[in-house]
Structure formats: C-alpha cells, structure tokens
C-alpha cells in the first residue's frame, strides 16, 4: 500500500479546526474562566507523544492544564493495553473519578488509546462505568474537537472506536511536555504480530511518515532549542519500507544527522530481525546519534523465540551485538524480557539467564507474560504456575542487579559528555544528566548548566547511577 492512503486529507483536518473553534466558543459561554484539563498518557513513549497532540488540540480549544485530575474540568486518559496490570490500573483510576464526576455535570471524563480498540473493554466500560462521557479509538485522535463538541452539546455519551488499518494525521498542534527533549514519531502501527502482543491489533498496520515531514519537524525543534530528539516507532528498523519512494531507517538517520546544530539523536524501539549493519555503521560514524541501543530480545531460548514469532535466533541476536560492539566499543545495550511465556521450561529460562551473562546489559525491563485477548499466544497452553514465573522473574532481576552494578563500575574514571536535565537526587547542589549511553550521572554544579551539554569525569558508581565531577572543556 502506498503512503498516500494513510494520510488524513487536509480538508478533514481543516474541518477539525473548525470544530475546535466551535468548542472554544461554547466553552467561553459555559465557563467564566478558561476550564482546566488533566491529560494522562499511560504506556509507551508513542502514547506519550499522542498525548502531546491531544493536549495541543485541547489547548487550541481553549483549555488550560492542571496536574491533578480532581482539579480539572476535563480528564482525559490515554490508555495502554500492553499487559493486564496496565489495564487494571486504568480501571482503578477511572473508578476513583466517580466522585469527581458526581460533583458537577460540567465535569467530562474522556478515554482514548489502545485499550479502547478492544471491544470487550469498551463493553465493560459501557456497562459498568456509566459516567464516562467519551470513548474514542487510536485511529481517530485527530477528531477530538468534533467528538468533544458533540459531548458538550448533546449531553450524552459518545463512543467512537472504528476499526481501521490506521491513518497518519500530519500538522496537528503539539503541546510538548519538555523544552529540552522531544519525541518525534517516524512511523505508527506494527506488522510483526509477535504472538504475545496486542499492539498490531490496537495500533493498526505499520505506516511511515514522509521523511520530509520528519526532517522539517526535527529542524524546527532544533531551532527552538531542543537538545535531544528521540525518534519513535514500534519497529524503527523497518521505517520507510512501504513508502512510495522507499528509504531505510539508516538513510533517514543520516539525513537527520546532517541537520546543523548541537543536539543528539536517540531512537526506539529496534526489532532485532530488522537491525542492519548499515544502521550500526551510520551510528558509529555519526557525532549526534547516541551509542545506546534498546534491543528487546524477549527471551534466550530459540524454541520460545519461535513460538513468539520473533524471527531471529539467539545466535543471530548475539551476532548483532558483537557487530555493533566491534564498530562502537562504547555502545550500551538495554532490553525487554518476558518471563513465563506459555510453555517456557526451566531450560528455556536458563537460556535467558545465559544470554544476560553474555550480553551484559546496562539495564533491562522485565515482565511476566500477560495473556492478551485475541493474540495467538492466548490460545497456547500456559501451565507454568504463577509462583514459578514470579520466582524466575526474581532470579532474573537479581542476576541483572549484579551485572548492572559491574557494568556501571566500569565507567569509573571515564570522561563522558552529558546533557544536563535538572536537579540531581544525590544531595543539595547536585545536578543530573544522561550520557550518550543513557546512563544517569549526578554531579555537583550550578543550575545555570541545566539544558547544556557538559563533560564529566566519573568518580563513583552507585547502584542506580554514576557520580561525577565537571571537567572544564
Ligand atoms: N506480556 C508481557 N509482556 C509483554 N510485552 C508486550 N506484550 C506483553 C505481554 N503480553 C513486553 C515486551 C515488549 C514490551 C514493550 O512489553 O517485552 O517489548
Ligand atoms: Fe501500550 Fe503498546 Fe499501546 Fe504503547 S502501543 S500504549 S505499549 S499497548
């Protein structure tokens, strides 16, 4: 499918602007002072990035913002469906707003995001949470003005969660959370269908933004003073393959790298099956692309990797790590691990432990397998007791704790460049920042340095971060 099919026509986006104006006029009638919105995005950075657009649209409609749901006139939860505990937490938070909703008919509760793309969840919300005003799906976030207008005008609940392969809506207003670091989605959706994963069902097919749109956005961010740009996608390594004029992720990175300015580039997430030597070579040559790779392996058993439909072997994965290290000796790796996938034996799990010892990740995210309705793994026999899975997770965390501490201690004595983020946690007068490798460094320094790149010498490794001191450049 060519990319032109994904784009929301300009005409439709202009119509939404018109609806936004109508909402603004209505709010001016309803509220003596601008109403406040509380928007919270759960889940991945892609969702956080969508949340910035939702806030952009709400700001256009005349909303101000607050950081507590109870103070808001409108609450919007941008939900995540990745694991059951994410969904449980969201149900809990929606439940906790019942009293707030009852306080005023003007209070509006809106839900969108990945959970809303699952019919059984929407049904449960319809039946058991009658005070939710608007539910809208992942493919229609650009229609928020139109949907909110009908909620405000008609005083009845609105549900709009169409099935779709997905869209790309360029040019939506964005209200970014920070002034230093920015998220830039380069693609949406996912075609991989890992057997445990709900994402392809709730986010639609993989679709890439036009490189020109991405480059223009990055250029503008750099001009505005942003110092760190993180490119986002479920599988950035397959960026551009389905564009009318195909381009590889490595080529896109090369073009972004050529944008003048003092900034750095990160990206996530990479799928090992699509990571290429070309990508590592571009990273190695570049001054701006950080030498950090989040490369989710999920597990260290070929049998389970196959059952997960990951389409690589442990050997191929280790080959990628070796190649990346050969061209970038200072590269750091992080990963995601799922423990207790259906049918995981002790031997499979030991394979994962062995893999951790071989790769020596800086850090990792680990999860107990969570059954997702509609995925292929949901119908697989899953007879490992939960207590065994929890025990495996604890063993994995303990091993990683040891490895992580060893890896961190190897940085002592090194001189590293960091982007200063804000106040550090190590005590009064400390600042904090991250290295290229995504490691946290706390160091004593003047708050005027916040927002700048500085060079620090690492003096000590704590178990969660490094300590350093400023080196004059
Ligand atoms: N159960 C547990 N973990 C999951 N992940 C994705 N789906 C599931 C699931 N059903 C994890 C994977 C992925 C990360 C974002 O979440 O490790 O890389
Ligand atoms: Fe959660 Fe996945 Fe949706 Fe991101 S894409 S919000 S991780 S379900």
Q: If DSSP states are collapsed to H, E and C, what string results for 224-245?
A: CCCCEEEEECCCHHHCCCCCCC
> How much of the chain exceeds pLDDT 90, in percent?
97
Which H or E element spans position 158?
strand 158-160
Q: What is the pLDDT of residues 282-318, one digit of tens each?
A: 999 999 999 999 999 999 999 999 999 999 999 999 9
The count of C-alpha atoms lying within 13 angstroms of the C-alpha of 375, restricted to the half-sphere facing its C-beta, is: 26
pLDDT value of position 472: 78
Sequence-separated (6 or more) residues with CB below 8 Å from residue 162: 137, 139, 140
pLDDT score of 383 more than 90? yes
pLDDT score of 56 more than 60? yes
Nearest CA owner, ligand 2 atom 4:
44
pLDDT score of 2 more than 70? no
pLDDT value of position 190: 97
CB 318 within 8 Å of CB 305: no
pLDDT score of 4 more than 80? no
Write out the DSSP string of 19-60.
HHHHHHHHHHHH-SS--EEEEEE-SSHHHHHHHHHHHHHHHH
Cα(234) to centroid of ligand 2, in Å?
Answer: 9
pLDDT score of 1 more than 50? no
Residues facing residue 453 across a β-bridge: 419
Nearest CA owner, ligand 1 atom 18:
336
Q: What is the dihedral of CA 320, 322, 327, 332, to 10 degrees?
A: 90
Local confidence band at 131 (pLDDT 50, 70, 90 cut-offs):
very high
- Kindly state if the Cβ of 338 falls inside 6 Å of ligand 1: yes
Ligand 2 pocket at CB < 6 A? 43-44, 46-47, 80-82, 114, 198-199, 202-203
CB 356 within 8 Å of CB 316: no
Nearest ligand to the CA atom of 365: 1
Burial of 105 (0-12, 13-18, 19+ CB in 10 A): exposed
Average pLDDT over residues 422-434: 94
pLDDT score of 473 more than 80? no
**Helix axis angle, 314-327 relative to 346-359, nearest 10°?**
10
Nearest ligand to the CA atom of 188: 2
Nearest ligand to the CA atom of 197: 1
Cα(25) to centroid of ligand 2, in Å?
Answer: 34
Nearest CA owner, ligand 1 atom 14:
336
Secondary structure (3-state) at 250: helix
- Kindly state if the Cβ of 114 falls inside 6 Å of ligand 1: no
- Kindly state if the Cβ of 197 falls inside 6 Å of ligand 1: yes
- Kindly state if the Cβ of 194 falls inside 6 Å of ligand 1: no
- Kindly state if the Cβ of 91 falls inside 6 Å of ligand 1: no
pLDDT score of 123 more than 80? yes
- Kindly state if the Cβ of 465 falls inside 6 Å of ligand 1: no
The count of C-alpha atoms lying within 13 angstroms of the C-alpha of 331, restricted to the half-sphere facing its C-beta, is: 26
Cα(371) to centroid of ligand 1, in Å?
Answer: 10
Residues facing residue 333 across a β-bridge: 293
Q: What is the pLDDT of residues 182-206, one digit of tens each?
A: 999 999 999 999 999 999 999 999 9
- Kindly state if the Cβ of 372 falls inside 6 Å of ligand 1: yes
In angstroms, the CA 340 to CA 343 distance is 8
Sequence-separated (6 or more) residues with CB below 8 Å from residue 284: 327, 328
Which H or E element spans position 423?
strand 415-423
Nearest ligand to the CA atom of 51: 2
Nearest atom in ligand 1 to the alpha carbon of residue 298 is: 17
Whose structure tokens read 């445990």? Answer: 196
pLDDT value of position 5: 78
Q: Which of 49, 50, 82, when mutated, tests ligand 2's pocket best, judged by the most ligand atoms within 8 Å of its CB?
A: 82
> How much of the chain exceeds pLDDT 70, in percent?
99
Cα(181) to centroid of ligand 1, in Å?
Answer: 25
pLDDT score of 139 more than 50? yes
- Region for residue 189 given its phi and psi (left: phi exceeds 0; alpha: psi -120 to 50; beta: otherwise): left
Sequence-separated (6 or more) residues with CB below 8 Å from residue 386: 340, 368
- Kindly state if the Cβ of 369 falls inside 6 Å of ligand 1: yes
Nearest CA owner, ligand 2 atom 1:
80
Q: What is the pLDDT of residues 57-79, one digit of tens each?
A: 999 999 999 999 999 999 999 99
Average pLDDT over residues 210-233: 98
- Kindly state if the Cβ of 167 falls inside 6 Å of ligand 1: no
- Kindly state if the Cβ of 77 falls inside 6 Å of ligand 1: no
Of 199, 144, 189, the residue nearest 167 (C-alpha) = 189
């Amino acid at each position: 499918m060519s990319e032109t099919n994904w784009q929301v026509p300009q005409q439709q986006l202009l119509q939404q602007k018109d609806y936004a104006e109508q909402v603004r006029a209505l709010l001016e009638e309803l509220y003596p002072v601008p109403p406040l919105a509380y928007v919270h995005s759960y889940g991945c950075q892609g969702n956080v990035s969508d949340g910035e657009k939702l806030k952009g649209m709400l700001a256009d409609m005349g909303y101000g913002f607050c950081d507590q749901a109870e103070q808001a006139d409108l609450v919007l939860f941008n939900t995540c469906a990745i694991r059951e505990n994410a969904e449980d937490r969201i149900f809990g938070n929606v439940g906790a707003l019942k009293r707030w909703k009852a306080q005023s008919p003007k209070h509006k509760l809106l839900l969108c995001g990945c959970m809303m793309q699952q019919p059984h969840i929407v049904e449960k919300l319809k039946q058991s949470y009658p005070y939710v005003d608007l539910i809208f799906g992942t493919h229609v976030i650009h229609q928020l003005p139109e949907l909110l207008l009908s909620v405000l005008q008609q005083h009845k609940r609105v549900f709009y969660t169409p099935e779709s392969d997905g869209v790309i809506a360029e040019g939506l207003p964005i209200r970014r959370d920070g002034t230093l670091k920015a998220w830039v989605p380069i693609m949406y959706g996912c075609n991989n269908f890992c057997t445990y994963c709900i994402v392809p069902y709730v986010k639609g097919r993989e679709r890439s933004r036009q490189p020109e749109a991405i480059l223009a956005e990055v250029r503008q961010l750099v001009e505005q003073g942003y110092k760190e740009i993180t490119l986002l996608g479920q599988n950035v390594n397959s960026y551009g393959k389905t564009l009318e004029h195909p381009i590889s992720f490595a080529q896109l990175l090369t073009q972004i790298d050529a944008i003048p300015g003092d900034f750095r580039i990160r990206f996530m997430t990479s799928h090992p099956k699509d990571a290429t030597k070309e990508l590592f070579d571009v990273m190695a040559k570049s001054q701006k692309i950080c030498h950090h790779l989040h490369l989710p392996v999920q597990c260290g058993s070929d049998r389970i990797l196959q059952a997960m439909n990951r389409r690589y072997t442990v050997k191929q994965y280790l080959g990628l790590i070796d190649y990346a290290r050969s061209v970038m000796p200072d590269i750091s790796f992080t990963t995601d691990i799922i423990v207790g996938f259906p049918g995981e034996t002790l031997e499979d799990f030991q394979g994962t432990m062995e893999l951790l010892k071989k790769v020596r990740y800086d850090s990792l995210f680990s999860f107990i397998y969570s059954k997702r309705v509609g995925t292929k793994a949901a119908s697989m026999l899953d007879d490992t007791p939960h207590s065994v899975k929890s025990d495996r997770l604890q063993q994995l965390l303990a091993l990683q704790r040891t490895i992580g501490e060893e890896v961190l201690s190897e940085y002592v004595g090194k001189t590293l460049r960091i982007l200063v983020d804000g106040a550090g946690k190590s005590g009064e007068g400390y600042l904090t920042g991250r290295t290229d490798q995504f490691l946290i460094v706390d160091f004593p320094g003047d708050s005027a340095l916040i927002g700048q790149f500085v060079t620090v010498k690492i003096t000590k490794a704590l178990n969660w971060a490094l300590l350093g001191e400023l080196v004059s450049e």
